[in-house]
Amino acid sequence: MLKKRKFTIAFLGWMVFITFSCLYSFNEAGVSTLVIPHADKLVHFTFYLVATVLAILFVREMTNGHFPLVKTLWITLIGAIIYGIIIEVLQYALPVDRDADVFDALANSAGAIMGSILAKSIFSNKRGLKWSN
Q: Say if residues 94 and 19 touch (Cβ distance below 8 Å).
A: no
pLDDT at 126: 73
Q: What is the mean pLDDT of residues 57-64?
A: 94
Spatial separation of the C-alpha atoms in residues 75 and 129, rounded to whole Å? 20
Q: Which amino acid is at 127?
A: R
pTM, full prediction = 0.87
Q: What letter would DSSP give residue 29? A: T
pLDDT at 2: 59
- Short-list 63, 41, 55, 67, CA closest to 115: 55
Q: What is the mean pLDDT of residues 49-58?
A: 97
